[in-house]
Amino acid sequence: MSLLDWIVLAVTLGGVVSYGLWRSRGSRSLDHYVLAGRSMPWYAMALSIMATQASAVTFISTPGQAYVDGMRFVQFYFGLPLAMVVLAFTAVPLFHRARVFTAYEYLERRFDVKTGTLVAAIFLVQRGLALGVTLYAPAVVLSVIFGWPDWQTTLIMGGVAVAVTTLGGVKATAWSHMMQMMVMTAALVAALVCAVVLLPSHVSFRDAVTLAGASGKLNVITTAFDWNDRYNLWSGLFGGMFLALAYFGTDQSQVQRYLTGKSIAESRRGLMFNAAVKIPMQLLILFIGALVYVFYIYQAPPLIFERNDLARIQAQGVGQEYDTVDRRYQSAHEARRLPADAVLEAARRGAAGAEQGARAAYRAAQSDFEAARHEGARLVEAGS
């Protein structure tokens, strides 16, 4: 990393943490520490809800999902707006009027201590497992940037998060989340601009969209009812709705956010904002992944990004096999460019027949490239 990169990282991290701690000053009572004194405005609460749900995994893995499978993943969120409407008129007034600190306290009052304790324990186990993935995804990225082991970057990020939460309570967390969402939104816009600007000079934004479409990366809706298909319209509407009802209605990481609202109306506004913004945000993130895919049609990506994986493969004595696969991979990448340019040329001329033939040739070249990439992934899995 350059000096400028270090400055941006330090200022962003320090600024977000300091702002959250500053906004949480005076949080001494339990009500202020756990629920921010029920004083949060709807916009801060809404952005905190989104930041809690949209972890680093969202911004790292979702573009990768579009890179591999296209934009169909957005269907997973189609049921979320329906769930937000249901919760706004059921869970929100129920929890607010009960004046509880957690969703599980309500179960304790409604049934008994054993019920509340059991559900709280299940939540803690589930949340602990989820946080492992949430921390590990950015840890891998930082380990690539810094060249540090994964466990070191995981400990650093986890330590900072624990310190901020412990010192400032939920108010510091919520206000920090608001700043983080602003930073992440700016980063998304910057990533979109970079993905377009860094394309070759002969490839326009329209050309990039054409190539992404020819590669199947812009497919959004799948109406076929298939039990073996993870992402389709029906699983998104029905499965996604019930998943969102469970997540936002019973998971304390979400319930706590809308319990910090000044009133029932403020909490409802926060959920409705999430309902309105979540799907467009996911579409933007997925679209960036589709553009990154087009970028790598002309810029050869390394067969293995993770330097630690590469070092492990070479240490295990399969370096010669890796070199063979890498040469095949680079050759397949070069062979993919010509049919890609043919697709663009036919599209510019409006020659439908020629474009159809060029797309078929491009898809065949893409299959060869993907086969080489999967062979590289097999070497990584075999060496892990």
Cα–Cα distances (Å) from 305 to 55, 59, 67, 140, 311, in that order, read: 22, 17, 15, 10, 11
- Calculate mean pLDDT across residues 237-242: 92
Query: Are 169 and 36 a contacting pair, CB within 8 Å?
Result: yes
Residues 11-35: pLDDT tens digits? 877 777 777 667 666 656 777 777 7
Tokens matching residue 119: 């559900």
pTM of the predicted model as reported, rounded to 2 decimal places: 0.82
Residues 252-306: pLDDT tens digits? 888 888 888 888 999 999 999 999 999 999 999 999 999 999 999 988 777 777 6
Task: Tell me: pLDDT of 82 over 90.
Answer: yes
Task: Tell me: pLDDT of 159 over 80.
Answer: yes
| Cα angle 40-41-43, degrees, rounded to a multiple of 5 | 120
* φ, ψ at 287 (rounded to 5°): -65, -35
Residues 173-182: pLDDT tens digits? 778 788 888 8
Task: Tell me: pLDDT of 382 over 80.
Answer: no
The whole-number pLDDT of residue 130 equals: 83
- Calculate mean pLDDT across residues 135-159: 82
Q: Which residue has the higher pLDDT, 343 or 52?
A: 343
Q: How far apart are CA 351 and CA 337, in angstroms?
A: 19
Q: How many H helices and E strands in the chain?
A: 17, 0
Q: Give me the amino acid identity at 227.
A: W
Average pLDDT, the chain: 84
The whole-number pLDDT of residue 25 equals: 65
